[in-house]
């Protein structure tokens, strides 16, 4: 028999078995294997006549239920974002008032270039990012609680069946969940996946998982354009990222990364009450990276943005005639089909390649306003509608990961080819998705 005939016979056998057994072969084999082990243990071990059912067992009967598991996971994610928004709004207001006062003081400083640097560049740029400290830290607190109580292990378990459908396994979902904090750490966590093609596929789809650095973009635009449904809109970004990651995993595993998936066996830890110390330590470990970037990378980038917005000397600050305006005007036509073909949006996305928070910082530096009024300024100056803002958020979610994440992909795959592929295909997916959202959306709105 030829290779093609063997593969067709294999597919027919798999379809036949699924029709008889009602499940995929891997799941049935695993269940039979564990059934044999269970029977063997009954023959060689003595147990109490009545086996004690623990509290963890009772909770798992609901949490990892075949039908309730995924809906409960989505409900928890949605509740997490509602928690973040509810508590962060007043805290963000206090930080905004602080930076507003600092900007007013800086506007009176002389000479004029120093006043512009302080007010427009540093306070407008860095301040527009730091205002999002409360929601970012609250999100990290919520994730730390779910991890410490033992739920995240269950999330991987309940997703195992779905992951098998795309020829991965539940272990691949663990780095995906970690990607909600930072894609760099999540990509490095793929080392635990034994199967090379599973590992490479998980690395390539991980950038679609929305990291904490993208959160300021969502909060800024959701607060300005979707005031009544901020939590739902931000939740939709994370959900879209998961859906796109699953679709692309299916495409990759059925095309350039064909092959069988590995097996996934894990021990579910008992539920534990998270400790305050543990949650705070985990939150600080993630949150301090944001603060370090704000004080170093973001600070340097917004100063560069201010300089490019001021050159050549004598032009209006952050105008189309400035250096940064010319850079943006060159790129903007490519983004026009997606609805945000303004040069300001193009420039913010270019600098966002360095680190995603800079998308907000760049706009803050160019417009010279803080995060509290930046969303309204974007709506007024760029003429954005909620549809455009949503398409822009989706583009920011999906386009090329930050330079540090690309560097991690290079080190983990030891291949410039796969690194370049990750950069190009994620940006292409982002452009296609944003364009479809805008073009189809305006048909309904019109």
**Per-residue pLDDT tens for 227-285?**
888 889 999 999 999 999 999 999 998 888 887 766 666 667 888 899 999 999 988 98
Work out the pLDDT band at 384, boundaries 50, 70, 90.
very high
Determine whether 112 is exposed, middle or buried from the number of CB atoms within 10 Å of its CB (0-12, 13-18, 19+). exposed
Residue that the structure tokens 């995993």 belong to: 249
Worst-scoring range by mean pLDDT, 136-145, 176-185, 200-209, 272-281?
A: 176-185
The answer on pLDDT for 382 being more than 90 is yes
pLDDT tier for residue 49 given thresholds of 50, 70 and 90: low
42-50: long-range contacts, CB 8 A cutoff, minimum separation 24: none
In 3D space, the residue among 119, 106, 129, 100 whose CA is nearest the CA of residue 297 turns out to be: 129
Supply the DSSP string of 69-80, one letter for each residue. Answer: HHHHHHHHHHHH
161 has pLDDT over 90: no
pLDDT beyond 70 at 370? no
Sign, CA torsion 228/431/207/288: negative
Please give the distance of CA 41 from its chain centroid, rounded to a whole number.
Answer: 43
Give the pLDDT band of residue 217 (cuts 50, 70, 90).
Answer: very high
| C-alpha to C-alpha distance for 430 and 392, rounded to whole angstroms | 9
What pLDDT does 235 receive? 93
Whether a cis peptide bond, with omega within 30° of 0, leads into 185 is no
According to the model, what pLDDT value does residue 22 have?
Answer: 67
Q: What percent of the chain has pLDDT over 90?
A: 37
Determine if the peptide bond prior to 312 is cis (ω within 30°).
Answer: yes
Lowest mean pLDDT among 51-65, 294-308, 371-385: 51-65
Q: How far apart are the first and last CA of the chain?
A: 58
CA distance 443 to 446: 5
- Average pLDDT of span 13-20: 75
Region 340-369 average pLDDT: 91
Strand (E) or helix (H) holding 116: helix 112-116
Using CA of residue 339, residue 341, residue 344, residue 345, what is the dihedral sign?
positive
Return the ∠ at Cα 293 (arms to 287 and 296), rounded to 5°: 140
Q: Which residue has the higher pLDDT, 369 or 254?
A: 254
Rg (CA), the chain: 25
Q: Which of 165-174, 180-189, 228-237 has the lowest mean pLDDT?
A: 165-174
User: Is a pLDDT exceeding 80 seen at residue 335?
Assistant: yes
The dihedral region occupied by 267, where left means phi > 0, alpha psi between -120 and 50, and beta the remainder, is beta
pTM (predicted TM-score): 0.84
Instruction: Determine contact, residues 248/208, Cβ cutoff 8 Å.
Output: yes
């Amino acid at each position: 028999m030829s290779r093609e005939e063997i593969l067709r016979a294999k597919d027919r056998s798999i379809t036949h078995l699924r029709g008889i057994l009602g499940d995929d072969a891997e799941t049935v084999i695993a269940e039979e294997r564990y059934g044999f082990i269970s029977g063997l243990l009954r023959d060689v071990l003595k147990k109490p006549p009545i086996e004690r059912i623990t509290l963890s067992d009772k909770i798992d009967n609901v949490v990892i239920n075949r039908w309730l598991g995924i809906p409960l996971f989505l409900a928890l994610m949605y509740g997490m974002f509602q928690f973040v928004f509810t508590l962060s709004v007043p805290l963000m207001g206090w930080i905004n008032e602080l930076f507003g006062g600092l900007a007013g003081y800086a506007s009176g400083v002389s000479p004029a270039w120093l006043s512009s640097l302080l007010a427009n560049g540093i306070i407008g740029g860095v301040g527009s990012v730091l205002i999002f400290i409360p929601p970012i830290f609250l999100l990290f607190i919520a994730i730390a609680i779910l991890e410490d109580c033992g739920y995240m292990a269950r999330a991987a378990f309940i997703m195992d069946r779905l992951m098998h459908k795309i020829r991965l396994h539940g272990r691949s979902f663990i780095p995906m969940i970690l990607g909600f904090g930072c894609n760099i750490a999540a990509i490095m966590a793929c080392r635990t996946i034994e199967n090379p093609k599973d590992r490479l596929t998980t690395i390539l789809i991980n950038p679609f998982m929305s990291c904490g650095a993208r959160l300021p973009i969502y909060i800024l635009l959701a607060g300005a354009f979707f005031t009544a449904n901020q939590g739902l809109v931000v939740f939709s970004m994370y959900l879209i990222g998961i859906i796109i990651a699953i679709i692309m995993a299916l495409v990759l595993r059925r095309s350039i990364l064909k092959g069988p998936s590995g097996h996934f066996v894990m021990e579910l830890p008992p539920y534990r009450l998270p400790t305050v110390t543990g949650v705070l330590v985990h939150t600080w470990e993630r949150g301090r990276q944001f603060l370090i970037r704000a004080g170093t990378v973001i600070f340097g980038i917004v100063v560069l943005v201010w300089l490019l917005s001021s050159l050549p000397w004598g032009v209006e600050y952050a105008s189309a005639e400035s250096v940064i305006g010319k850079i943006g005007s060159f790129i903007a036509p490519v983004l026009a089909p997606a609805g945000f073909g303004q040069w300001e949006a193009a420039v913010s996305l270019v600098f966002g390649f360095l680190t995603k928070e800079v998308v907000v910082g760049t706009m803050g530096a160019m417009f010279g306003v803080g995060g509290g009024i930046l969303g309204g300024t974007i709506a007024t100056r760029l003429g954005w509608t909620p549809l455009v803002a949503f398409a822009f958020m989706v583009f920011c979610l999906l386009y090329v990961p930050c330079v540090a994440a690309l560097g991690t992909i290079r080190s983990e795959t030891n291949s410039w080819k796969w690194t370049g592929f990750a950069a190009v295909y994620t940006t292409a997916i982002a452009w296609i998705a944003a364009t479809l959202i805008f073009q189809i959306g305006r048909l309904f709105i019109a």
